[in-house]
Amino acid sequence: MRGSSFRRIAIGAVVIAVVIAVIYGSSAPAPGEGFFGRIWPILNEFAFWTAIQLGLIYGFVALGVYLSFRVLDFPDLTVDGSFPLGAAVTAALIVSGVNPWIALVVSIFAGGAAGLVTAFLSVRFHILHLLASILTMFALFSINIRVMGSSNLSLARQETILTPLTSLDLGITAAQTRVIFIAVLLLVTGAALSWLLTSSFGLALRAAGANPRMARAQGISTSASTYFGMALSNGLVALGGSLFAQTQLFADVTVGAGTIVIGLASVIIGESLLRFRGIWIALAGCVLGSIIYRLVYQWALTKDQICLGFCLDFRPSDLNLIAATIIALALILPRLGAGKGSIR
């Protein structure tokens, strides 16, 4: 057991070291700069804190994806529609003069409703999980346009939940203040979700996903568990969409494209680095994976070349290829480290 844990820690350290080596090898330092001075310039201060901020926002998405994919064993593509739904509902309500906190709460319920539709199609009519979620996602594209009245909506001159923070004098930049605020929200949400999943109700929820037949034999309603879990999952994703709209000051129907990929990448990266038992560790791994993914993504946006012994020309159109490579490595490395016996 100890040897297995040591291998996992070593693999995580190797992954981080490889990322640092690539960054270090591709940076162009000024004369006299040290190691840390050489790494830091790859992202200016604005880009770095923007990446951290988006990583925390998509941390809510990662928690929702973890709940549907890992807890309920329900492959759910609804998140590509519920994320922009949260942004659209929030933007529409704020523009209409509604308090941004109320808009945030309403967006969570809107995302939960989207999850309930997917669960209803799957449970009531026995439609395949993926197909049910694709149908909901497909319909949400039109619904989001209806909600906003157009394909996008600006919040540039509107008050958001972050507006009061601009008047605070904490001795740090506005970007750092936003990061701390979102981190606190994420911490509270993660703690509440951890408490829920470790309660008797949460254990029943996890049992319904792990072994539905056994759960039904124990008197657990797997249908009710699916309804609740899917509503909570997409509510968390919509919460991320609401925060995205209020931090980026706009909502657009296309912001949900690839949300499921980002969520899955965050979960997979987190599980690869923190492969220990425990709900709290798993949830923390999801958030950590989201931040790492966003930092690497932001770094890739700033590079024209990747050099490590040899140089490869890099284009913005290659971002999806890099994202797929990161996810593949996160999946492959732990299996190689654990030995042939763990490969299934």
Q: What pLDDT is attached to residue 28?
A: 42
One domain for residues 271 and 333:
no
Q: Could you read off the pLDDT of 25-64 as tens digits, one per residue? A: 444 444 444 443 444 455 678 888 999 999 999 999 999 9
Sequence-distant (6+) residues with CB within 8 A of 298 are: 43, 47, 48, 50, 51, 54
One domain for residues 98 and 203:
yes
Report how far apart, in Å, the C-alpha atoms of 114 and of each of 59, 144, 236, 260 are. 20, 12, 12, 15
State the pLDDT confidence band at 131, using cuts at 50, 70 and 90: very high
One domain for residues 109 and 229:
yes
Residue 35 maps to a domain: no
What sign results for the dihedral spanned by CA atoms 208, 213, 219, 222?
positive
Q: Which residues pair with 312 in a beta bridge?
A: 306
One domain for residues 9 and 125:
no
27: closest CA among 336, 305, 343, 341? 305
User: Which residue, chain included where needed, has tokens 């591709």?
Assistant: 26
Q: What pLDDT is attached to residue 207?
A: 95
For residues 23 and 39, the answer to whether their CB atoms sit within 8 Å is yes
- Per DSSP, 157 falls in state T
Structural domain for 4, as ranges: 1-29+303-344
Tokens linked to 284 = 């923390």
DSSP 206-265: HHHHH-HHHHHHTT--HHHHHHHHHHHHHHHHHHHHHHHHHHHTEEETTTTTTHHHHHHH
One domain for residues 135 and 237:
yes
- CA pair distance 3, 6, nearest whole angstrom: 5
284: closest CA among 296, 275, 293, 295? 275
Half-sphere exposure of 62 (CA within 13 A, CB side): 29
Residue 40 maps to a domain: no
Q: What pLDDT is attached to residue 298?
A: 82
Q: How many residues does the chain have?
A: 344
For residues 230-246, give the mean pLDDT.
98
Residue type, 168: L
Residue 92 maps to a domain: yes
CB atoms within 10 A of CB 42: 18
pTM of the model: 0.85
Average pLDDT, the chain: 84
Q: How many domains does the chain have?
A: 2
One domain for residues 245 and 176:
yes
Residue 241 maps to a domain: yes
- More reliable by pLDDT, 16 or 269: 269
State the pLDDT confidence band at 72, using cuts at 50, 70 and 90: very high
Element (H, E) at 84: helix 79-95
- More reliable by pLDDT, 111 or 34: 111
One domain for residues 265 and 308:
no
One domain for residues 17 and 60:
no
Please state which of the ranges 35-44, 92-101, 280-289 shows the lowest mean pLDDT: 35-44
Q: What pLDDT is attached to residue 304?
A: 59
One domain for residues 88 and 198:
yes
Residue 226 maps to a domain: yes
- CA pair distance 316, 318, nearest whole angstrom: 5
One domain for residues 21 and 79:
no
For residues 115-131, give the mean pLDDT.
96
One domain for residues 274 and 205:
yes
Residue 264 maps to a domain: yes
For residues 101 and 242, the answer to whether their CB atoms sit within 8 Å is no
Q: Which of 260, 277, 294 finishes a domain?
A: 294
One domain for residues 63 and 13:
no
Q: Is the pLDDT of residue 18 over 70?
A: no
Residue 41 maps to a domain: no
What is the maximum span of the chain, computed from C-alpha positions, in angstroms? 70
Q: Which of 252, 269, 294 finishes a domain?
A: 294
DSSP 109-155: HHHHHHHHHHHHHHHHH---HHHHHHHHHHHHHHHHHHHHSSSEEE-
Residue 38 maps to a domain: no
